[in-house]
Amino acid sequence: MKIRNRFLALAALLGASTLALSGCVIPFGGDDDQPNDDQNTTQNDDSQNDDSQSDDSQDDGPDASSFDLADTEWSGTIDGSDVELLFNSDGTIDFIDYGGQGSIDHPNDTWSVNGTEVTMSLAFEDGSGNETIIDLTGELNPESLELSGGGMSASLTIM
């Protein structure tokens, strides 16, 4: 009789060890919640283990959605002319220099951001006093802006 009890105890111990080593979990309590499919993943699938590496490569730069363009200075070119400008917090743009002509402050030079799209509205006057406003749009990027529209392009880099 002692051998049979030891055999049953050994079988129970081996069964419990097998369950523990295989990752099976026996829930305790009367909770009826079933785990969702996201929690029932195996670690043997290499594609699930490499997710953190692909996420790291996307976080190399500042996040455009949290970047505030207000009160930042930029330099670059607008339609081939070298420029330095300031995006004022009131939504206007001050050109510190435009094509070597010095500063230009026109009240209709404005900027806005909608989501991650930047729009610069630039006012141009011809010799007879007529004003033309050209909108340049592009994606907000905390390091550089590539904007275009109205037959013009702008390439700006943050200073």
pLDDT digits (tens, 9 = 90+) for 72-121: 999 999 999 999 999 999 999 999 999 999 998 899 999 999 999 999 99
Look at residue 104 and tell me if it is in a domain.
yes
Rounded CA separation 77/140 (Å) = 17
* pLDDT single digits (tens) 112-152: 999 999 999 999 888 888 899 999 999 999 999 999 999 99
Length of the chain: 159
Look at residue 22 and tell me if it is in a domain.
no
Look at residue 12 and tell me if it is in a domain.
no
pLDDT for the residue 12 = 56
Extended strands (E) in 93-130 = 93-98, 110-114, 117-125
- 10 Å CB burial of residue 31 (0-12, 13-18, 19+) is exposed
- Contact indicator for 127, 142 with CB cutoff of 8 Å: no
Look at residue 126 and tell me if it is in a domain.
yes
Look at residue 73 and tell me if it is in a domain.
yes
| pTM for the full predicted model | 0.59
pLDDT for the residue 127 = 80
CATH of the domain at 139: 2.40.128
Secondary structure of residue 118 in the 3-state scheme: strand
Rounded CA separation 140/142 (Å) = 7
- 10 Å CB burial of residue 46 (0-12, 13-18, 19+) is exposed
Look at residue 37 and tell me if it is in a domain.
no
Domain that holds residue 119: 68-158
Give the single-character DSSP code of 105.
Answer: -
How many domains does the structure of the chain reveal?
A: 1
Look at residue 24 and tell me if it is in a domain.
no
Look at residue 105 and tell me if it is in a domain.
yes
